[in-house]
Amino acid sequence: MIGRICSKRFCRTYNHSLNKDTIPLPIIRSEYAVRGAIAEKAMKMQRQMEDGVKFPFDKITQLNIGNPQNLGQKPISFNREVLASCLIDDTERSRKIFSSDAVDRAEYYLSNLTNRAAGAYSDSTGIRLIMREVKSFIEKRDGVEVNEDQVYLTNGASEGITLMLKLLINDLNDGIMIPIPQYPIYSALITRFNGTQVPYYLDESKGWGMSFEELERSYAEATDKGINVRSMVVINPGNPTGQVLTQEDLNRVIQFAHDKQIFLLADEVYQRNIYVDKEFCSVRKALKELGSPYDDDVELASFHSLSKGLHGECGLRGGFMELHNINDFANAMMYKSKAVALCSNIIGQIGVGLMVNPPTKDTVSKEVFDLYQTQEQEIFNGLKYRANLITEKLNSIEGITCNEVEGAMYAFPQIRLPQSYCDLAHQEGLSPDLKYCLEILSKTGIMIVPGSGFGQEEGTYHFRITNLVNSKSEMTKALDKIGDFTSELMSVHK
Amino acid sequence: MIGRVFSRNFTRTYKHSLNSHTIQESIIRSEYAVRGAIAMKAMEIERQMETGTKFGFDKITHLNIGNPQDLGQKPISFNREVLASCLVDDPERNRMIYSSDAVDRADHYLSHINHRAAGAYSDSTGIRVVMREVKDFIEKRDGVEVNEDNIYLTNGASEGITYMLRLLIKDENDGIMIPIPQYPIYSALITRFNGKQVPYYLDEETGWRMTYEELEKAYFEATAKGVNVKALTLINPGNPTGQVMSQEDLEKVIKFAHEKRIFLLADEVYQKNIYVDKEFCSVRKALHGLGAPYSNDVELASFHSLSKGLLGECGLRGGYMELHNVNEFAHAMAYKSKAVGLCSNIIGQIGVGLLVNPPTEESVSKEVYDLYKKEEQTIFDGLKHRANLITEKLNNIEGVSCNQVEGAMYAFPKIQLPRAYCHLANTLGIQPDLKYCLDILEKTGIMIVPGSGFGQEEGTFHFRITNLVNCSLEMERALDMIGEFTEDIMSQYRYKGVETVKLPHEPILDSEYQTI
């Protein structure tokens, strides 16, 4: 933007020095659809509503993002009591309103902090006691041995993912294999770090399954173009697709990674969100059970988060990353990068401790344990019910088909938009699925994200919607509104 | 590292794909001394202590980092009660143990959050009600008009600084002017983002003053080498140097930035840590005071944090960034970068609200207000007392001279290390000030940071030490130990010829870690 300014001596033009021409191209090209065009439009509408403008709905419903508590999910009481007791270090007072068990657990954490200070920076990798809890958690879950020097506590899984991708990408020729569809932090960051996205397609006709042939095809295509494939991302359970990978699937991925000598990134934040009769198997575990040479060789970073599962504590920003078979030098570089931001927030770190080391029958009173279990079970039941509800309702809408939601917090249905509608969208310079989502937002106040934000087969359109509206009737209502709007669209554009 | 693996079919070598050859140069070259070699050695010592090894001290004292609560500073009660009440949303129960005012303030925040959920992601820029508090704070402090869309709530100031530097550095010829000495997040990130550091030297003789001539010199030197100077960082009060800049100083910087058309980055996290008879003036205010054309033109990012001041809530990771005269497109790019990390943590955000909108006489009960003031005053008095103590004691040590600590949380004394000592360090392959700090650590358990981590005039040596040991007696003791050890070195090495220096048995550092 140019401003003309005349001073007493002379006229000069002052150009912003930070503008489109001077900002790095990769930042300009980087896109993150979850909080992209739909979010911007919604913010505008929100402001208009605040100024009194009337819309055909009374509020915006945010089904665009995996943000459970924003839609009514309650936090787990025990965890919050522990965190509050860590913030106010006064056991006598705390015991007046919190359970003894919660106060004791807070004491356990505080006694391991210098000067019992939750307000002090911790070591850069995290509070050692919690890193040990994470270590025990992984060892117990997977039957492996964990080196606690390879555990990093992070502000959500996002921070760990960012650090790893930054380390892996040297230049434009470095490629990272990502599933299509994928959670767009990967595409956004790969672009931002000036690397190349190497897509491998999940098969919608086979419940979003992954095939070895597809991995090979994707790899070969990239290497033919001169791309140096450095790493592969696996999201299990999938986002936005929700599929749960079997141990056999994982074995194939591991063998592929070993063969190509590429680094595996395992995004496992939804490991507690599984609604079908399948078990979660971590890449770490599959690796261990495959044994030598894989378990000694394959480089792996596994990510977990406090934001999903049954705790849904997105706002606390807690998570961890575990590195396996990582070169010492690389680990030192990782440590260094982490150190510049000092440490992740302490409350989030303690939240991670609570996630990986929950109260058990033997460690807390029956009352506390029962309440904990009840709260978790309610949340799980709600998520499962709505996963099924959403699958059913979406499939009953004309033009929409939806694979069963096996896990995570989303449905990713395919919508067959009429050709005339698509043409209209192209005229407006929009992807048809984006136009669809923008219109859903304008007509119903519901935020969903176009499939183009996650990646999809050429010529197909999808959208991602969460199953997180805490009230069954409200979730049903939202789906009905989408159904009504879509049916109308289909008939108008037939 | 190469592992040889035999399988049934064939022998193959499996190399780590992520190693020193495949990691970006810029990451390898990037250094952050505050948590570098000294921190790594301290961690090693701590582990040895845990397994029973005896040392000449019973604990490590962390005087390397501005981490007040780690050294005994207490948090402000009112703030913690508000935060706890946000986490456990049960006002009736909470009123049994927290003040009504705290519970009410928590309610003020929660009622502005969807479903009163402190556990939900907020908008990427932050919780709107807190952004408004930040807006009001800046407007009141500086007499300016703030657009709340220009405010970003961040995980500490570090996050905002990272975004801005990444936006500003497009290619390797892009340079960022940084004060020498500086807080090494700037040098670390500029290197990491593959830009050029353009140092401008603060003058130790005149209390770490910045001069217009030095800015010009630094600028011309850089441009002569083909560097495209994009921005200038100033830290006020300074870190590690503590100097407080006057409004006149700031006006000079602003005019310089305007003339060269460069972006200003104002790191103002220590604005409440001033121990001398000087007022804090923000760049924002000085800019406004200068009027047109400066106030309409100069692009500015100002950073503040919950980690310093009198609250010292480092672990909560709260902070904000305010952008001024920034192009809309640039804003959109900053917003987009922020969105990928979703949002900064909610507790930290609310902490920022409490920082910028503290309780007043009118808004809370007398009891709560008095306690708040008392707690803040106790902390301030302690910091001020120890700022003076540290200046005095360091100046008493032979070979050490220290400028008056005007503000922030550090002293940055100069130390004249004997030639023979320096020679020994060089033969070991490390900087003399690093050797000094490592020796201090081994002998006393005290962690301080070598001046080379912050930058210093060629041929001089310094170290940074914090004034944060909460107990004045312990602070004195630490300074005494440093004094004794330093005098030992001085007497041991002062008259030694370089040739008579004996090498120790083992190297002090694994050379891999020297660059960290």
Of A192, A341, A24, A195, the C-alpha closest to B22 is: A195
B500 versus A16: the higher-pLDDT residue is A16
| Same-domain status, B436 and B489 | yes
Q: Tell me whether A166 touches chain B (CB under 8 Å).
A: yes
Q: Tell me whether B10 touches chain A (CB under 8 Å).
A: no
| Same-domain status, B352 and B396 | no
Is the pLDDT reported for residue A20 higher than 90?
no
Q: How many CB pairs under 8 A join A and B?
A: 311
Q: CB–CB of B314 and A17 under 8 A?
A: no
Q: Tell me whether B188 touches chain A (CB under 8 Å).
A: yes
Q: CB–CB of B261 and A87 under 8 A?
A: no
In the predicted model, what is the mean pLDDT of residues B276-288? 98
Comparing CB atoms, the residue among B70, B121, B155 nearest residue A314 is: B121
Dihedral class, residue A115 (left if φ above 0, else alpha if ψ from -120 to 50, else beta): left
In the predicted model, what is the mean pLDDT of residues B152-161? 97
Comparing CB atoms, the residue among B20, B69, B167 nearest residue A27 is: B167
In the predicted model, what is the mean pLDDT of residues B96-110? 98
B79 in any annotated domain? no
Mean pLDDT of chain B: 92
Cβ density class B241-262: b for 16+ within 10 Å, e for less? bbbbbeeebbbbbbebbbebeb
Q: Tell me whether B437 touches chain A (CB under 8 Å).
A: no
CB proximity list for A193: less than 8 A, separation 6 or greater: A26, A165, A166, A169
| Same-domain status, B290 and B349 | yes
The domain that contains B329 carries what CATH number? 3.40.640.10
The domain that contains B445 carries what CATH number? 3.90.1150.10
- pLDDT tens-digit readout, A363-389: 999 999 999 999 999 999 999 999 999
Measured CA to CA, the distance from residue A69 to residue B372 in angstroms comes to 32
The whole model's pTM is what? Answer: 0.94
| Same-domain status, B350 and B402 | no
| Same-domain status, B177 and B246 | yes
- pLDDT tens-digit readout, A230-286: 999 999 999 999 999 999 999 999 999 999 999 999 999 999 999 999 999 999 999
Query: How would DSSP label each residue in B474-505?
Result: HHHHHHHHHHHHHHHHHHHHHT--GGGPPPPS
Is the pLDDT reported for residue B510 higher than 60?
no
| Same-domain status, B406 and B491 | yes
Q: CB–CB of B70 and A34 under 8 A?
A: no
Q: Give which of A8, A87, A158, A296 to mutate to test B binding, by max B Cβ within 10 Å.
A: A87
CB proximity list for B102: less than 8 A, separation 6 or greater: B78, B81, B82, B85, B94, B368
| pLDDT reported for residue B168 | 96
A43 versus B111: the higher-pLDDT residue is B111
CATH dotted code for A26-72+374-492: 3.90.1150.10
| Same-domain status, B248 and B216 | yes
**The domain containing residue B230 runs over which residues?**
123-356
B112 in any annotated domain? no
Is the pLDDT reported for residue B4 higher than 50?
no
| Same-domain status, B170 and B295 | yes
Give residue B10's pLDDT band: very low, low, confident or very high (50, 70, 90).
Answer: very low
Interface predicted TM-score (ipTM) of this complex, two decimals: 0.94
Both tokens assigned to A206:
């086979």
| Same-domain status, B184 and B155 | yes
Q: CB–CB of A28 and B333 under 8 A?
A: yes
Mean pLDDT of chain A: 94
| Same-domain status, B394 and B316 | no
- Percent of chain A at pLDDT > 70 equals 97
B212 in any annotated domain? yes
| Same-domain status, B243 and B308 | yes
- Residue entry with tokens 């219109």: A439
Which sequence spans correspond to the domains of chain A?
26-72+374-492, 121-356
- pLDDT tens-digit readout, B467-490: 999 988 999 999 999 999 999 999
| Same-domain status, B395 and B496 | yes
Q: Tell me whether A105 touches chain B (CB under 8 Å).
A: no
Q: Tell me whether A27 touches chain B (CB under 8 Å).
A: yes
Q: Which CATH class is domain A121-356?
A: alpha beta
* Whole-angstrom Cα Rg for chain A: 24
- pLDDT tens-digit readout, B18-46: 888 888 888 888 888 777 789 889 989 99
Q: CB–CB of B19 and A330 under 8 A?
A: yes
Q: How many domains does the structure of chain B reveal?
A: 2
In the predicted model, what is the mean pLDDT of residues B459-470? 96
Is the pLDDT reported for residue A423 higher than 50?
yes
Nearest residue in A to B85, CA atom: A84
